[in-house]
Amino acid sequence: MKDKKVLFIGLVWPEPTSSAAGFRMMQLIETFITRSYRITFASAAAKSPYSAPLTALGVEEQSIILNDSSFDQFILELQPDIVVFDRFMVEEQYGWRIAQQCPNTLRVLDTEDLHFLRQARQACVKNKEEFSFQELFTDTAKREIASILRCDLSLIISESEMKILTEVFRISPDILYYLPFLENEITANEINQWKSFPERKHLLFIGNFIHEPNWHTVQYLKTQIWPLLRKLLPKVELHIYGAYATQKVLQLNNPKENFYVKGRAESARLTMENYRVLVAPIQFGAGVKGKFIDAMQTGTPSVTTTIGAEAMKGNFAWNGFIEDDPEVFSRKAFELYENETIWKTAQEHGIRIINERYEKRKYQADFMTNLSLLKVQIDKHRQQNFISQILLHHSMQSTKYMSLWIEEKNK
């Protein structure tokens, strides 16, 4: 029996300690490992000191070059059963080459979050406008949705985004697959090891600063929330963590105000377990937020906004409070910080959300079965998604010809 092969093509090499996107990618890789796939991870990006040691997991690593036909030879020799693109920009670069060289390979897009949704919300916040679905019809949306339509299957991390794609853009559910974060169950044994309410102190925020919503949240915390919250909790400190903090982030550090910028946390969860409350007044974004998964996994209640908690809790109570008004937000953070009964109840809500909505055994087997069935029925599936073939037709391939032109120019 021949090896089942999957190729991941990364926008970057996964950094699970730097971002939720890196963490998500490692969960997908682990899912294929459990099904004994031979896994290759390829990227045109340079590695960083924080890139995950993939070879230690038995994953083969391959450096590739953008806009270069050497990729065609690589893919032709590898002949993967499945290719997973890490975000739509990667599919734009390599999707047509895969379709050309390996027409029977299943093409799967991991969206991470809907970029066009995040950008539209960001523009509305910047322009102080109310968000409406009319704001979604942008050039980024055209690119991202074209990528979704070209692929055999797209992985969507948020139920809200599934709804937008099927109801606003009328995309067939047959080419979309809801796959949230894939988490370990929180067991009684783990709960017993968590630090107690009196053992924890201070507030924190955490988020990768390459991601614009996190930088904006820190500015909002500094100017809108912390002045109110500091009056309520004068002896408490707020600690800001995040990978890739630039000078503009670091200069917000102000010990006189008990506002500390700490920079990168080597492990989000090991850091978070020492704090009493996570405060994250997120104003725009998309997908689901890894920081709240980390908080629930470490028994750390949180206060966030409607956007922050979007699509995460289902019908369950939040592990803390969801508030959009700065004054109410601050008051609820104060309550959560000071009241052990409220804090413990919030902690229990987080346990339920993880175990009921994100526990990986609920999803992994069904997902892999779905991929196997899709592989067997690929011709029929593609006939039903004929738009995919239209978009792969040469007359639609501006990205392909731009790439070939760049390659010639580089010679």
CATH code (residue 56): 3.40.50.2000
Distance CA 340, CA 125 (A): 35
Mode of pairing for the β-strands spanning 82-86 and 38-43: unpaired
Q: What is the pLDDT of residues 106-158, one digit of tens each?
A: 999 999 999 999 999 999 999 999 999 899 999 999 999 999 999 999 999 99
In this structure, what token pair is assigned to residue 87?
Answer: 């975000």
Q: What is the pLDDT of residue 396?
A: 59
Q: Identify the band that residue 393 occupies on the pLDDT scale cut at 50, 70 and 90.
A: confident
Mean pLDDT of 299-314: 97
Mark whether 58 and 177 lie in a shared domain.
yes
Please say which residue of 317, 333, 358 terminates a domain. 358
Q: What is the pLDDT of residues 49-96, one digit of tens each?
A: 999 999 999 999 999 999 999 999 999 999 999 999 999 999 999 999
Q: Give the gyration radius of the chain's Cα atoms.
A: 22
Mark whether 210 and 124 lie in a shared domain.
no
- 170-179 contacts at long range (C-beta below 8 A, 24 or more positions apart): 171/145, 172/384, 172/385, 174/381, 174/384, 174/385, 175/148, 175/149, 175/151, 175/385, 175/388, 176/148, 177/153, 177/367, 177/370, 179/155, 179/363, 179/367
Count CB-CB contacts under 10 A for residue 139.
Answer: 9
Mark whether 200 and 250 lie in a shared domain.
yes
Mark whether 178 and 289 lie in a shared domain.
no
Query: H/E/C letters for each residue in 155-222?
Result: EECCHHHHHHHHHHCCCCHHHEEECCCCECCCCHHHHHHCCCCCCCCCEEEECCCCCHHHHHHHHHHH
Q: What is the pLDDT of residue 401?
A: 75
Mark whether 24 and 115 lie in a shared domain.
yes
Mark whether 197 and 264 lie in a shared domain.
yes
Mark whether 285 and 322 lie in a shared domain.
yes
Mark whether 160 and 101 lie in a shared domain.
yes
Mean pLDDT of 157-176: 97
Count CB-CB contacts under 10 A for residue 320.
Answer: 30
Q: Identify the band that residue 405 occupies on the pLDDT scale cut at 50, 70 and 90.
A: confident
The mean predicted confidence, pLDDT, of the chain is: 95
For residue 350, the one-letter residue type is: G
Mark whether 27 and 147 lie in a shared domain.
yes
Mark whether 213 and 268 lie in a shared domain.
yes
Q: What is the largest CA-CA distance in the chain?
A: 68
Share of the chain above pLDDT 90, in %: 92
Distance CA 92, CA 59 (A): 24
Mark whether 312 and 168 lie in a shared domain.
no
Please say which residue of 358, 376, 398 terminates a domain. 358
Q: What is the pLDDT of residue 143?
A: 95
Partners of 106 in beta bridges: 82
For the cut 70, the answer to whether the pLDDT of residue 1 exceeds it is no
Q: What is the pLDDT of residues 29-46, one digit of tens each?
A: 999 999 999 999 999 999
Nearest to 282 by CA among 344, 217, 204, 233: 217
Distance CA 309, CA 282 (A): 9
Please say which residue of 341, 358, 375 terminates a domain. 358
Mean pLDDT of 352-361: 98
Mean pLDDT lowest for which of 44-58, 146-160, 174-188, 387-401?
A: 387-401
The boundaries of the domain holding residue 50 are 5-183+361-410
Q: What is the pLDDT of residue 408?
A: 85
Mark whether 144 and 14 lie in a shared domain.
yes
Count CB-CB contacts under 10 A for residue 33.
Answer: 14
Question: Do 371 and 108 meet the contact criterion of CB atoms below 8 Å apart?
Answer: yes
Distance CA 293, CA 157 (A): 13
Distance CA 299, CA 186 (A): 10
Residue with token string 């609920």: 362
- What domain count does the chain have? 2
Q: What is the pLDDT of residue 399?
A: 72
Distance CA 21, CA 87 (A): 10
Burial class (CB in 10 A: 0-12, 13-18, 19+), 127: exposed
In this structure, what token pair is assigned to residue 328?
Answer: 């109410």
Mode of pairing for the β-strands spanning 238-241 and 302-304: unpaired
Q: Identify the band that residue 20 occupies on the pLDDT scale cut at 50, 70 and 90.
A: very high
